[in-house]
Structure 1
Amino acid sequence: MLNPVLDRLSTTPTLWNRLRWLVEAGFTGEHLAIARELRPWRGDQRWFLDLGCGTGEFAGDFPARRYVGIDPSLTYLRFAVQHRPGHYLAANGVALPFADQTFDAGLILGVLHHLPDATARTVIHEVYRVMRPGATILVMEDTPPPANENPLGHLMHALDRGGYIRFEADYQAIFGDGFDIVRNYHLRSGICDYAVFVLRRRPS
């Protein structure tokens, strides 16, 4: 009953952002992880890719001149362009419209749990291609809460529009041999549980 309601809400960026802001406690955990792991304001000349940027919710965490957000939803991108400074492109992750080794760092937040394994591996391969050697990629993906904890989190996952919520080991298998896992930890953002991975792109 609720899933069709959520599907309709997701097509209205303002309402969808407000709902997510409420259930994820203002995205405090995500903002802190971005600041800690990517250090986007340290004054260097890095280029950042936000893969699956949606409405550009996290664009403000990056320097606008060197932030590129991609998403397949034109509705979300129109909202992002109007409200969040940065560069935006309509694209999906299976064929990124960038030259090899374009970016120095990347963010993948809440994307892979929408994709089956084969598609997710293709996306990760494309991320490897467009990242420079040594690039840092921050991945935050939905993961099941511990069995006897966070009942509201279990409910959220039952309603989630992504059909491929995985355990941490399953995400790790998708990353393949192109990345070293520098750090892996659990993050609870409001009632939503995330597996967090800090990846470093290996040399070709």
Structure 2
Amino acid sequence: MKLHHHTDHAEGAGPILRPRLYEVVSEIGFAGRRRLVSIRLVALSGARRGDHVLDVGCGTGYLTRLLARRVGPEGHVTGLDVAQPMIEHARARAPGTCAYVLGEGQALPFPDARFDVVVSCLAVHHLPAAARGTALREMFRVLRPGGRLLIVELRPPANRLAARLAGVVAGHALRPSMPDLLAELVPAAGFRVEGTGELRPLLHYILAVR
């Protein structure tokens, strides 16, 4: 899970600037299941051998490295993040089939139809609220026709006590409900939604096609 800044909802959660601390908190947040969940996300993405994949909000590059194994030496994975410390951390650990770019999700520095797959895990809530629709439209733009999108975000727990606790820990990421927000933003950007689902402990995903 991400580290959160306490900001106004319109501002987004803001960037994460401490990669080593982020890695520790992620392991704790996923209750020791980070690798298993990430492998599941790679499978859900539909990435195949030889694909070109973009990871928007790649953070420390954990998911990009797993995606690189999936696409093999014939493929390529590009990670994009707004935080220079995250990019530097990711580059230091990257295989040859990964590259990392400093940039914003709402202004992707790539040509149209560049990628076969776009993924974004726990990143949309970090964008300013007004920029989220733009970011989804940018993801649509850089995907080839028929390309696949996987967005993963936090979901509020069903249990009221657990929801209150999650609100304290995750704060901004659960307000507004990201599953409800994505259900609006993804089709509005032009995508055809193919499926949604949940992963433990608190993840919601949406699969779509350009």
Q: For 2:164 and 2:144, locate their aligned partners in 1 and report how far apart those are by CA, in whole Å.
A: 37
Shift, 1:22, TM fit: 1.9
Partner of 2:124: 112
Shift, 1:196, TM fit: 0.7
Partner of 2:158: 146
2:192 matches 1:180 = yes
Shift, 1:165, TM fit: 4.5
2:34 matches 1:22 = no
2:132 matches 1:125 = no
SS class of match (2:177): coil
The partner residue of 1:198 within 199, 202, 207 is 207
Shift, 1:81, TM fit: 0.5
2:180 matches 1:169 = yes
Q: For structure 1, which runs of at least 5 residues remain unmatched after alignment?
A: none
SS class of match (2:106): coil
Amino acid at match of 1:194: L
**Per the alignment, do residues 19 and 169 of structure 1 end up closer, same or farther by CA in structure 2, a change over 3 Å counting?**
closer
Amino acid at match of 1:32: I
**Per the alignment, do residues 89 and 177 of structure 1 end up closer, same or farther by CA in structure 2, a change over 3 Å counting?**
closer
- Name whichever of 87-96 and 111-120 sits farther off: 111-120
Partner of 1:12: 18
Partner of 1:63: 68
Shift, 1:133, TM fit: 0.9
Partner of 2:72: none
Q: For 2:93 and 2:176, locate their aligned partners in 1 and report how far apart those are by CA, in whole Å.
A: 30
Question: Would you say the 8 A contact 2:4–2:172 is kept in 1?
Answer: no
Q: For 1:170 and 1:68, locate their aligned partners in 2 and report how far apart those are by CA, in whole Å.
A: 26
Partner of 2:111: 99
- TM-score, normalised to structure 1, is 0.82
Shift, 1:111, TM fit: 1.1
Shift, 1:147, TM fit: 3.3
Q: For 2:203 and 2:176, locate their aligned partners in 1 and report how far apart those are by CA, in whole Å.
A: 10
- TM-score, normalised to structure 2, is 0.80
The partner residue of 2:44 within 25, 37, 47 is 37
Alignment of 1:68-79 (within 5 A): 68-79=78-89
- Post-superposition CA distance 1:50-98 (Å, at most 9, x none): 0000111112212275000000100011100011321000000111111
Q: For 2:198 and 2:93, locate their aligned partners in 1 and report how far apart those are by CA, in whole Å.
A: 30
Q: For 1:178 and 1:66, locate their aligned partners in 2 and report how far apart those are by CA, in whole Å.
A: 25
SS class of match (1:160): helix
Q: For 1:28 and 1:165, locate their aligned partners in 2 and report how far apart those are by CA, in whole Å.
A: 27
Shift, 1:113, TM fit: 1.6
Partner of 2:8: none
- Identity among equivalent positions (%) equals 24
- Post-superposition CA distance 1:11-34 (Å, at most 9, x none): 331222012112202314532332
Q: For structure 2, which runs of at least 5 residues remain unmatched after alignment?
A: 6-12, 70-74
Amino acid at match of 2:93: H
Shift, 1:178, TM fit: 0.7
Amino acid at match of 1:102: R
**Per the alignment, do residues 195 and 165 of structure 1 end up closer, same or farther by CA in structure 2, a change over 3 Å counting?**
farther
**Per the alignment, do residues 74 and 52 of structure 1 end up closer, same or farther by CA in structure 2, a change over 3 Å counting?**
same
**Which 4+ runs in 1 deviate beyond 3 A?**
161-165
